[in-house]
Amino acid sequence: MKQSASEGTPSSMSELNRSRIINFLFHHGISSRAQIAKATGLTAAAITKITARLIEYGVISETGDLEGALNRRSIGLRLNNARYQVIAVKFARSLVQIGIFDLSGSCKEIHDFPPIHNNDVVDAVMNLKQYINETIARNGSIVAVGMAVPGPYLSDEGRIASVTTMQMWEKVNFLREFHDAFAVPTFIEHDARSGALAQSLFGSQIDGNSLAYYLIGEGVGMGVIDGGALICGSRGTATEIGHISIDVDGKPCECGNFGCLECYCSTRAVKEMLLKPENRGIVEHVETLLPREACKRLFVKSSAGSAKAQRVVREISRYIAYGCVNIINGYNPRQIIIGDILSQAGQTMLDEVKRIVAERVLPELMDSTSIVLSDLPTDATLTGAAAVATNQFLRNPSRFVEGMDTPKR
């Protein structure tokens, strides 16, 4: 029952060729049959046969004339992104968020569940199933559900090994609860790897072959794409940077380690920082706020020019930068994309991160690595859950389009 975004290899040559054509149109937009043939290496006859089948089932459509080589006119083809939709579910400790996306990554609607506490988890799972089933029943365009869960996520078992501050999530087996719960397929992936996939599929000016998505929110995680493939590890817990120690004698972490990065730059760590005597008053009534709300108010004050708020943001940024140093030295990605709640600290944070990384990384590595903030219009983890499902559609389209893989009589 293991589920991973990197799985889903097409089961036949015909399915592989369909996938190649659909992927080309997904990444390149409107294209001619000749352009597709040149890019994929398929013959003109094969392209004609396969695209006819895809048109018949509404996966792609013709768009009219295109300017071709030697001023010849050719008919354009496009992927019908808007015809197919996926449900995306983001689990983030106290937050469960649901979105509906089309295949282009465009968000149609978002629903936030009320904040969840440890003793609410069982009811939250039940309510989530009901909400998703009702959504699928009233929306015939939905073809899959994608879920993004916090790490360390043991994908071979379907459970989270450790969830700081929300241990009840550790008792939920996501595969058992959701794998067969709906009328459409469900795919589950680690949240940061989902974010990496979202950046690869939907991000602008992103090198989808070499990137690290650095998730800094209620927890800290990372997803790495190397050579176009997600790095997952033997049990699905690879690239778990939130539990890499940056201080062997540092703060104790609920995972059993000391000095874990997550203890210094998650939303909870930021709230703890704001509760220190020297930072009291920077955010009013901080003790009554949820950690993510405390962060957002801090960042608003920092953007408005508060010197005290900017000082705290720079202190947080120092720890974020230590994570970037480890990412560069450990994985050497071409790009590091910082996302989730703490990315809202904006340019003040990014400038400080780059300054510290430049001091601590070999110049040759620093010069070849760009560090940017996520540019996705919707939360990268929620979009990532959509990307998990979309990626499966791109790999195995006939699984989601009834009858397409049945030979004609």
Average of pLDDT values for 377-385?
87
Helices (H), 361-403: 363-367, 380-395
The Cβ of residue 10 has, within 10 Å, a number of other Cβ atoms equal to: 17
Assigned token pair, 128: 């989530």
For residue 249 the two structure tokens come to: 């004698």
C-beta of residue 262 within 8 angstroms of C-beta of residue 152: no
The span from the CA of 159 to the CA of 170, in Å, is: 6
For residue 245, what are the contacts with CB-CB under 8 A and spacing of at least 6? Answer: 257, 258, 259, 260, 261
What is the pLDDT, as a whole number, of residue 8? 54
State the pLDDT confidence band at 169, using cuts at 50, 70 and 90.
confident
Whole-number pLDDT of residue 5: 45
User: What's the pLDDT at 66?
Assistant: 74
Q: How far is CA 184 from CA 3, 26, 127, 223, in A?
A: 15, 22, 18, 26
pLDDT band of 404, cuts 50, 70, 90: confident
Q: What is the CATH number of domain 13-79?
A: 1.10.10.10
What is the pLDDT, as a whole number, of residue 2? 42
In this prediction, residue 68 carries a pLDDT of 61
Question: What CA–CA distance (Å, rounded) separates 177 from 186?
Answer: 11
Q: Where are the domains of the chain?
A: 13-79, 84-198+382-395, 204-375
Rounded-to-integer distance, Cα 115 and Cα 123, Å? 12
The radius of gyration computed from the CA coordinates of the chain, to the nearest angstrom, equals 23
Q: What is the mean pLDDT of residues 201-223?
A: 87
Residue 277 has a pLDDT of 95
Is 6 a residue whose pLDDT tops 60?
Answer: no
As a dihedral over the C-alpha atoms of residue 45, residue 47, residue 50, residue 52, rounded to 10 degrees, the angle is -80
Is the model's pLDDT at 294 over the cut of 80? Answer: yes
The whole-chain average pLDDT of the chain stands at: 90
Domains 84-198+382-395 and 204-375 share a fold: yes
Please report the pLDDT score of residue 72 as a whole number: 66
Orientation angle between helical segments 347-360 and 307-331, nearest 10 degrees: 50
Q: Pick the closest to residue 144 from 380, 379, 388, 381 (CA basis).
A: 388
Choose between 131 and 163: higher pLDDT: 131
DSSP lists the bridge partners of residue 112 as 97
The pLDDT of residue 342 is 94
291, containing H or E segment = helix 291-303
Share of residues in the chain with pLDDT > 90 (%): 71
Domain 204-375: give its CATH code: 3.30.420.40
- Cα-to-chain-centroid distance, residue 57: 29
Instruction: Give pLDDT tens digits for 354-375.
Output: 999 999 999 999 999 999 999 8
Superfamily in which the 84-198+382-395 domain is placed by CATH = ATPase, nucleotide binding domain (3.30.420.40)
Side-chain-side CA neighbours of residue 232 (13 Å) = 21
pLDDT number for residue 216: 94
pLDDT band of residue 409 (cuts 50, 70, 90) is low
CA angle 356, 360, 365 (to 5 degrees): 105
Q: Which helix (H) or strand (E) holds 33?
A: helix 33-40
- DSSP string covering 316-360, please? HHHHHHHHHHHHHHHH--SEEEEESGGGGGTHHHHHHHHHHHHHH
CA dist., res. 241 & res. 257, Å (int): 13
> pLDDT grade, residue 69 (50/70/90)?
low
Answer whether residue 325 shows pLDDT above 90.
yes
The pTM is what? 0.86
Residues 6+ apart with CB under 8 A from 92: 150, 191, 217, 218, 219, 381
Task: State how far the Cα of 357 lies from the Cα of 348, in Å rounded to an integer.
Answer: 14
Q: Which of 221, 220, 197, 219 is nearest to 208 (CA)?
A: 197
Q: Which range is least confidently modeled, 15-29, 75-89, 157-171?
A: 157-171
What's the longest Cα–Cα distance across the chain? 77
